[in-house]
Amino acid sequence: MNVLQVRDLTKRHGRKHNLVRAVDGVDLDVPAGQMLAVTGPSGCGKSTLLNLMAGLERPTGGQVWLAGERIDTAGERALARLRRRSVGFVFQSFHLVEELTAAENVELPVLLAGGSPRAAKRRAGQLLDQVGLADRARQLPWKLSGGERQRVAVARALANEPLVVLADEPTGNLDTAATNEVLRLFADLRAMGQTVVMVTHDARVAATADRLVSMRDGVFVEDTWLGGGSGWLDGLFAMGD
């Protein structure tokens, strides 16, 4: 079953001479449980694609289905409901609510979805534990390191057990160590069968996905399966002997 389906999706900015085809007639199917990476140089339209798939922006043309529901034409309320229940976001600049503690940030989607404060609290505790931040639950975001903040953001994205997690350059603001922290988390998500679509220009991050789509100037130029080891590493060490 496809969690996300995109058909002939188009997004243009500006007019005439300044016309930019950010996304130019793209088709994409993301089956459940797949971890998909979209890569490409900056300005290739990959972030726009992600925003379109989440209903954060409206497309100029084409269709987007999320869990069989068409979202490119959905109203604000329907989109809000969809974001609450079906989508989890992770951003490059974390976008934690600065006024709320780590735990409260994670509770927020649960409360928004109508969960009881007790349920929200329980879920936040469980998720923060899962991302290894149980002891930082009561801190405000600015007291956390970049890697910790992004782990809180991942926990928050998972709060309502979304159908798909959408991540926009999740390691773009992180150093190598923090990148590994976050990538380990994504590897766990992949192992758990969580559907993830992430946008990145970092090959190492993209390489953790099952499948990799390359974008140039608003179109897909390549669609590669990365799953399954070729034993290349073992060969490398054998040669080293």
Partner 1 sequence: MQDAILAMLAKEPSHGYDLGLRLRRALGPLGGSMNAGQVYVTLARLEKAGLVVHERSAGSPDRPDRKVYALTDAGHERVTAWLAEVNRPKPDLVEFHLKLAAASASRLADPVELVDAQRRELLRRLAEAQRAVLAEPEGSTGGLLLEGIALRLQADLRWLEACERVWSRRADA
Partner 2 sequence: MGRLLLVSRLVLGDLRRHPGPAVLLVLSTFVATAVLSLGMSLPGATERLYLQTRAATAGPDVVALAPGMGGATDAVLTSLENAPGVVARSRPYRQFFATLTTGGGEARAIVLGADAKPGPIDRPLVTSGRWVRPGGVVVERGFAGAVGVDVGDRVAVAGRTFPVVGIAVTAARTVYPWAMMGGPGNGPSDGAGLVWMTEPDTRPLAASGLPVTSLVYLRMADPADTTRYMAFYHDTPNSAGGRVGDSAARVNSFTWQSMAHQDDVYLRDGQPILIIGGWLLSFMAVAGLSTLAAGRAAAQARRAGLLKVVGATPGLIAVVLLAEYLTLALLADAAGLALARLAAPTIINPSGSLLTADAGPHGGAVVMTTVVAVGVAILTAAAPALRAVRANVDRRPDHLVLLSRMAGWLPVPLLLGLRLVARRPGRALLHAGGTATTAIGLTVLLMVHAQPRDGWDLGGVTLADLADDQSRRLLAGVTAAMAVLAVVNTLTMTWTTATESRATMAVARTLGATPGQVTAGLAAAQLLPTLPGAFLGIPLGLSLHWFFGPADQPPTPLLWSVPPVLLLATGLLSVVPARLAARRSVAEALAA
Which positions lie near partner 1, rule CB under 8 A?
Answer: 41, 180-181, 183-184, 187, 202-204, 206-209, 212, 222, 224, 226, 229-230, 232-233, 235-236, 239
Q: Is 20 in the site for partner 2 (CB under 8 A)?
A: no
Q: Which of 26, 36, 44, 89 binds partner 2 (CB under 8 A)?
A: 89
Residue from 16, 99, 176, 239 in contact with partner 2 (CB under 8 A): 99
CB of 9: closest distance to partner 2 in angstroms?
A: 15
Separation between Cα atoms, residue 231 and residue 145, nearest integer Å: 36
Q: Are 70 and 63 in contact (CB under 8 A)?
A: yes
* Among partner 1, partner 2, none, residue 183 binds (CB under 5-8 Å by kind): partner 1
Asked if 186 is part of the footprint of partner 2 (rule: CB under 8 A), the reply reads no
| 37 beta partners | 198, 212
Quick one: which of 15, 16, 17, 77 contacts partner 2 (CB under 8 A)?
A: 77
SS3 208: coil
| CB 97, min distance to partner 2, A | 5
For 124-176, the DSSP string reads HHHHHHHTT-GGGTTS-GGGS-HHHHHHHHHHHHHTT--SEEEEESTTTT--H
Give the span between the Cα atoms of 6 and 54, in whole angstroms.
11
CA distance 13 to 22: 7
Q: Which residues bind partner 2 (CB under 8 A)?
A: 51, 54, 56-58, 76-77, 80-85, 89, 91, 95-101, 104, 107-109, 111-113, 117, 121, 140, 142, 156, 160
